[in-house]
């Protein structure tokens, strides 16, 4: 049985990753142990940061466990791509981040509020990244917060085809269509094929 450690301290991300990877044959999915230092996030892209975190935590955890590192965020066209890779550092907490975002867009008309969620995942072991993938979902920024599910920018990220924000979707529905759900579907398929092909523990 291979160990896969989820390299994030974000409880919402852990819940979503564990949910999508549940029942993955041959793998035991675990949260990051407590008390570890935070990895640097100095990359210019989501993939850069996921790679940084994967390399950092896989060096700390040693040669045995595999590490799944995530970097994700919101890209808003009217803000020239902000908050982007600084999504988690845009303001001190989820409420403040959403309030700041809506404030910056208060004079932007609905047709010009296009945005996308992006999630990059890196698979690492023993200090080196062996595979990466990325998923995204298109939407717009709502005029106000709606919904109680999810976390982060979910209450202001509107899915026009559904007429609902990400936070108005139950977790299982969100995981089917979200940026992280899409990236994790590819991640899960890779882990399954890797295990079949390599036979390595």
85 closest CA partner among 113, 56, 133, 117: 117
Angle at 13 between CA 173 and CA 188, to 5 degrees: 70
Cα–Cα distance for residue pair 65/61, rounded to 1 Å: 7
Express the helix, strand and coil content of the chain in percent, nearest 5 each. 40, 25, 30
Q: Are 139 and 179 spatial neighbours (Cβ–Cβ below 8 Å)?
A: no
Active-site position among 40, 71, 94, 154: 71
The torsion angle over the Cα atoms of residues 126, 190, 71 and 46, rounded to 10 degrees, is: 100
Examine the residue annotation and report whether 71 is marked as an active-site residue of this protein: yes
Residue for token pair 């709606």: 146
Cα–Cα distance for residue pair 187/190, rounded to 1 Å: 5
The residues that are catalytic are 71
């Amino acid at each position: 049985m291979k160990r896969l450690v989820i390299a994030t301290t974000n409880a919402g991300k852990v819940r979503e990753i564990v949910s999508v990877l549940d029942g993955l044959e041959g793998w035991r999915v675990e949260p990051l142990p407590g008390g570890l230092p935070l990895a640097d996030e100095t990359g210019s892209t989501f993939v850069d940061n996921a790679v940084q975190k994967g390399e950092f935590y896989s060096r700390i955890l040693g040669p045995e466990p595999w590490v799944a590192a995530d970097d994700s965020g919101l890209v808003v066209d009217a803000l020239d791509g902000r908050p982007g890779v600084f999504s988690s550092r845009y303001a001190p907490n989820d409420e403040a981040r959403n309030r700041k975002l809506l404030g910056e867009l208060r004079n932007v008309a609905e047709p010009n509020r296009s945005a996308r969620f992006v999630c990059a995942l890196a698979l690492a072991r023993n200090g080196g990244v062996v595979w990466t993938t990325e998923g995204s979902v298109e939407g717009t920024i709502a005029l106000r917060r709606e919904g109680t599910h999810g976390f982060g920018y979910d209450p202001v990220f509107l899915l026009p085809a559904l007429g609902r924000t990400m936070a108005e979707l139950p977790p299982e529905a969100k995981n089917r269509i979200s940026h992280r759900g899409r990236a994790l579907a590819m991640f899960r398929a890779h882990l399954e094929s890797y295990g079949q092909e390599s036979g390595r523990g």
